[in-house]
Every structure is written in C-alpha cells, then in structure tokens.
Structure 1
Amino acid sequence: MPGTFVDVEIASQPDLWERASALLPEVESRLPRTGERVAVVGCGTSWFVAQSYATLRETRGAGVTDAFVASEFPAGRRYDRVVALSRSGTTTEVIDLLRALDGAPSLLVTGVEDSPAGALASETLVLDFADEESVVQTRFATTTLALLRAHLGEDVAAVADQGRRALELDLSALLDADQVTFLGRGWSVGLASEAALKTREAARFWAEAYPAMDYRHGPFAIAEPGRLVWALGEVPEGLAEEVAGTGATFVHHELDAMAGLVVAQRFAVALAKGRGLDPDRPRSLTRSVVLSGD
C-alpha cells in the first residue's frame, strides 16, 4: 500500500511537540491557572487526552482537574474553567456542552479556525499546524497534550527526542499477534485507552485497555500465546513475569508514555496495511461526529 496521510502525520509528531512548546509564551494566558478547579472534556481520542492531562495536572499540584466525555459532563457542577478538546470544532456533544455552559469560562483547543464550537467558547486556542487529513487522529491529540505538558513545566524537548526514537523501533515481531491489551498507570491510563482505540479504528483489531493494576482483576484471563500485553509508562512490579507465565508476549519500551503511544500508532497502521485496509479512512467513521440537526 502506498504511503498514507497518517504515516506522515505520525512521523511529524516530535517536531510538532517542540513547536507547540515554543508557542507557550504566546498562549499561556489562555490556559488554566494554578489553583483553578478545571474540567477537561472531549470525545473519543480527545477524551483520552483529557484523562491524561487531568491526572498530570493534579499530580503536579496545579489544581483539582476532572476529565469527562463531553456527553456526560455533570450539569450543575461548578468549575473555574472548562477546557474542551476538539480537533474539528464541530463535534455535536462538545458544541452542546459549550452552549449549556451559558457563558461560564471555557477554552476550546482545536485544529480549525472559526469553528462552531469556537463561536461558543470564551476563548479559543487554534493549533492548525497540527490538524490532519486522516480520519484517524494522531498528531493533533499528542500536540495538544505536549502543549499542556509544557504548561505544567515538563521538558517537551526531551519527550520529542524519545518520540524520534519511537519512530525507528522495529515492530515486525509484533505484527503476527491476534490480540493486544494496552495497560497504563496514572496519566498513561488515558494513553493506553487511546492506543487501543487507534488499533480498533485503523485495523479493526481486537484491542482492549485497562489500568495496569486493575488488569489482574479479570482481564488477565484472556492472556495466552499469540497475544500481546503492552504497557505504556510505569509497569507494576511482577506484572511482566506474570504475563510471561501465560505464554502471552509482554511489550514495554523504555520511553515516555506519549512517545510510547507513537509506537502503538505505528503498530495500528502496520496492522491495517497488513490486512489490506486504508488506515486513513476506517470503516463507518468520519473526521467528526456531527449528529442530525447540528
């Protein structure tokens, strides 16, 4: 299969993370202030990024931070700021939520200028340089997270260097698997969910995701020869050995979890191509979910 948009977009991520970090002095006044009570919302990939950022922000002591899928935002709960993530700015549930906030402080992070969601948010931050042609979202999500991590004081340049290593890793030994379960801890739980989503979207492949410590509480039962158990970030003590005892293959790269997600993105695309699928245009999916009436 010839090169795809998503191949180019995956490969561009480390450079875009550094570009987003460099943008921080220009945009930090729009981002959550230390001590604010913040809700971060999105759908699909954006929800998983919201989960990761919420955990990071609380861990860094920047303030109470909750993550919600946009359709399930708790009406009546008060926040100092709501941060909505939407690549297109056209997602129905995000638009409905911003409309329901009725002027409460909100920030939309999007890849598109002049979007319907942008018209409803108090402020908008446009990362148009990270927008994508592929339906399958990769670089917009991670670039958004890179900017938010930079705002928390993290060394994004070092993460970008690890992302470049992730682009070079050989995946061939993993591509004959018949199932994969992604695991995360802390802020990488959201990224594990995103890795599983990418694999389902692009390759129609059986992929699951769990918090690593919870994996032993039931999901462990499906581990067996021919299947992968893939950890992003921190690995609980003893888990690799327990997985090996089932005959499943334990996968873990010594990378920042966001760089590790790049490896999982590449895995998903390689699986799709091996199955003769177009990873840019997954079956039944569109770039944005816009429901009837919007």
Structure 2
Amino acid sequence: MHRGYYWSRPQWVTERTIVSERKPGPGEYMAAEIAEQPGRLARIAEARDGVVEVARAIADRPPRFALLAARGSSDHAALYAKYLIEVLLGLPAGLVSPSTTTLYEARPDLREVLLVSVSQSGGSPDLVEVTAAARERGARTVAVSNTADSPLHGVAELAVDIGAGPEQAVAATKTYTATLLTLYLLVDAIRGGTGEHVHDIGKLAEQALERSDGDVSRAIDRYRFVDRIITSGRGYSYATALEASLKLAETSYLAARAYSGADLLHGPVAAVDEDTAVLAVTSAGKGGRAMHDVLGAVADRGADVLAIGSAAESVPAALRIGLPETAEEVAPILEVLPVQRIALGLALARGGDPDRPRGLRKVTRTR
C-alpha cells in the first residue's frame, strides 16, 4: 500500500480523445496529442495544490543534495529539473546512473538526499529498483509519473501524478511537457513560489503552436531530405536540444546528435560544414545569450541553422521559429512544441508513421 503524500488529478470530461472505428492514419495520434497540450498545461497549472502539499513535505525536511533518476524523454525532463534545483533552490543535484544499483548493486549512504524518479509509465524495473533501494538507504523519494497506480508510485514515499491523460502515440509529446511543468511547479513550490510564471502557460502554448505553424511547414520542406542534424542549446534549453534529437531520431530516423552549446565548440564543431543542419534552441535569458557565439561559429562553417525560441530573431540562422517570451526557467515548456510538430511533419514527409516507430514500444523495460 502506498504511504505518504499522494496527488492525482481527475480525468477531465473535456479531455480530447480519438474515437473512431477506422484504423487511425499515420501520425494522427501524435498530431492530436500535440494539439491537446495547451489545455492540458492550463489545467495542470491551475490544479497545483497537490504539488504544493508534496513540496511542503520536502521543505519541512530540507535535503542536502538532490538526485534524479529517469530514462528516455523523462531523462531530459530530469536534466531540466537539475537546472531548476541548482539555480532556484541552490542545492547540488545530479543524475543517477541506474545500473550502479541494478547491475553493480551499489548501495551508497543517501541520508538527507532527495531522490526524484521521473517516468511517464512508472513501470520501468530499473527505476523502480533504484527508488526502492534509495528509500532503504535513507533517501526521501518522490515519484513523478503519468500512471497513478504504477509500481514506481508504490515504492516511493511521495508521489505526483502529472495528469497528462492517456498517450497513445509511441513518441512522448504531452507527457513530456506535462512532466516539465509539474517539475517546475514542484521546485517552485519548494522555494515558496506561487507558480506566477506559468499562470498563463496554456495561453502561451496555444500562441506558440498557432504562430509557428507557417515556419514549421517551411522547416519541414527545408529539412525533409537532410541526413544528419545537430541540435544544441545551453542552460535550461539544453534539455530541449536533447529532446529534439531524440524526437527526430525516433520518428524520422535521422542521424541526430545533441550537444550543449559549450560542448559543441569543444571539438564537434570541426565536423560541421555546409551539409550539416543545426537546430539551435535559443530563448531570452543567459542560456540564449550564450548561444550567440556558438551559432556564429557554425554559421561561419556554412551550416544551415534553424533557430527556435523567443530569442531566435537575434541569432544568425537560415530559418527562425519565434516563440512568446517567458521567464527563462519555463521556456523549455514552449520550446519543444514546434520541435514536436517538425518531428511529426518530417516523419510523414519521409514516408514514416511517427505513431508507430519501428522497433519501439510505449513502455521500455530495462534493468
């Protein structure tokens, strides 16, 4: 039986679902779930009381260190949370290597440590084992997932349901942004915040999708025949670059590689030339400003740069997708929206079905 604080949002009667007797066409689930996000995000931001309750339990016994455990897209959300924890809470934070527990049976002293396990399904055996072992070793454990009755929620002391609703496409879209928003609300509440920077996140997400429609179409036309692409960002936006690389690889089968802007200049830039496409995430703030020199360098080498973000207009690029400006720490929630639509469009343009990528399943079980 689960003990400790628990929060689950109800299934909303306005939830958008696909009900049809015919077999859905390629990408229909993914397209619908991308379109669903503004409404979902608005409801998550409004219903933050449960997150606040979990945050208070954490703040009442402040940790000295934070660890985050995740896989796949959730790992990118965890990296985003790492930035939030270090910058907004002033706590050191690190990403867990699950195999140290599952394969090597390491059992470090985790007293006064906060472990946040992030999983859309909550069913990956390695994350369940890591969370259970961490709790046994003294950690305060928090499960963040989209499945209230999952094994992960069962072994954690505290739990938060991200409330994204059922996701039928294999590629994560609404569960990813819902996870980002939930993690932001959690960290913000731990520091005593009111979530003011995301009060209108649903409206901003709707604007991001509507205003980027034409530029997304142009990007699909421009890059449909590209063979390899580099994605890059700095600070909070590095998580978006990683997620962009994964989405392009798993839906369009592109040879995609993500680098932080700083790492890109430390060697990999030598492989950039006029045959290289670069998807650069650049939003208003310190991370976006740090990308200026990076994009100048890749532009000098002839790369075809697609800039995405609220600061896209201020960097050298062949194509730009501008987004509404927000506080820097919440920008990744919006940055990924046009990326998802580009991944969907490229997959369809290249003859694939992003709802059913070859060799992938919705829940990946690893140990």
TM-score, with length taken from structure 1: 0.89
2:163/2:178 contact within 8 Å kept: no
The question of whether the paired residues in 2 share the 8 Å contact of 1:225 and 1:247 is answered with yes
Contact 1:88 1:112 survives alignment (8 Å)? yes
Instruction: Show the counterpart of 1:15.
Output: 39
Tell me if the contact between 2:132 and 2:155 (Cα under 8 Å) persists in the aligned partners. yes
Aligned equivalents of 1:157, 1:252: Cα separation in 2: 26
Q: Please state if 1:251 is matched with 2:328.
A: no
The CA deviation at 1:82 is 1.1
CA distance in 1, matches of 2:297, 2:204: 28
SS at match of 1:238: helix
Unaligned runs of 5+ in 1: none
Task: Look up the equivalent residue of 1:215 and give its one-letter code.
Answer: L
Deviation (angstroms), 1:54: 1.0
Q: Which has the larger radius of gyration?
A: 2
Give the aligned partner of residue 216 of structure 2: 171
Instruction: Name the stretch that deviates more: 46-55 or 179-188.
Output: 179-188
Q: In the TM superposition, what whole-angstrom CA distance separates every residue of 1:26-45 from its partner, at most 9, and x where no partner exists?
A: 23221343842321211111
Tell whether 2:160 aligns with 1:125. Answer: yes
Distance 2:279 2:202 in 1: 21
Residue type of the alignment partner of 2:208? A
How far residue 187 of structure 1 moved from its aligned partner, in angstroms, is 1.9
Residue 265 of structure 1 aligns to which amino acid in structure 2? Q
Cα distance in 2 between the residues matched to 1:111 and 1:243: 39
The AA in structure 1 aligned to 2:42 is E
Any runs of at least 4 consecutive aligned residues in structure 1 with deviations exceeding 4 A, and if so which?
A: none
Residue in structure 1 matched with residue 126 of structure 2 by the alignment:
93
- Whether the aligned pair in 2 keeps the contact of 1:130 and 1:143 (CA below 8 Å) is no
1:121 corresponds to which letter in structure 2?
A
- Contact 1:17-1:156 at 8 Å conserved across structures: no
Partner SS for 2:230: strand
Equivalence map 1:76-225=2 (5 Å): 76-78=108-110, 79-103=112-136, 104-151=139-186, 152=188, 153=193, 154=195, 155-168=197-210, 169=212, 170-175=215-220, 176-177=222-223, 178=226, 179-225=228-274
Provide the secondary structure at the position in 1 that maps to 2:96.
strand
Conserved in 2, the CA contact under 8 Å of 1:183 and 1:212?
A: yes
Unmatched runs of 5 consecutive residues or more in structure 2: 1-24, 283-287, 311-322, 324-330
Moved more, 133-142 or 240-249: 240-249
Distance 1:252 1:105 in 2: 40
SS at match of 2:292: coil
Offset of residue 159 of structure 1 = 4.3
| Aligned residues: CA RMSD | 2.3
Amino acid at match of 2:167: E
Tell me how far 1:198 sits from its aligned partner.
0.8
Q: Does the CA-based 8 Å contact 2:135-2:141 persist in structure 1?
A: no
Once the two structures are superposed, residues 168-197 of structure 1 have per-residue CA deviations (whole angstroms, 9 ceiling, x without a partner) of 312233233312211111122122111101
* Residue of structure 1 aligned with 2:59, choices 33, 43, 46: 33
Query: Does the C-alpha gap of structure 1 residues 54 and 4 become closer, same or farther in structure 2, counting only changes over 3 Å?
Result: same
**Aligned-pair CA distance for 1:158:** 4.5
Q: CA deviation at 1:286?
A: 0.9
TM-score (norm 2): 0.73
Change (3 A) 1:173 1:72: farther
Residues matched between the structures, number: 292
1:67 aligns with 2:95: yes
Q: Which moved more, 1:57-66 or 1:177-186?
A: 57-66
Q: How many angstroms does 1:222 deviate by?
A: 2.9
Shift of 1:53: 0.8
Whole-angstrom distance in 1 between the partners of 2:266 and 2:217: 31
For the pair 1:265 / 2:340, whether they are aligned, the reply is: yes
The question of 1:47 aligning with 2:70 is answered no
Q: Is the 8 A contact 2:27 2:355 kept in 1?
A: no
Q: For the residues of structure 1 that align with 2:113 and 2:241, how far apart are their CA atoms?
A: 29
**Structure 2 counterpart of 1:166, one-letter code:** A
Tell me the distance in 2 between the aligned counterparts of 1:77 and 1:271: 47
269-278 vs 1-10, greater mean Cα deviation:
1-10
Between the aligned partners of 1:289 and 1:199, the Cα distance in structure 2 is 18
Q: Deviations over 1:29-79 (max 9, x none)?
A: 213438423212111111111011111221113533222353356740524
Using the alignment, how far apart are the partners of 1:90 and 1:181 within structure 2? Answer: 31
Provide the rounded CA distance (Å) in 2 between the counterparts of 1:188 and 1:68.
20
Q: CA deviation at 1:130?
A: 3.7
Equivalent positions of 1:1-12 (< 5 A) are: 3-12=27-36
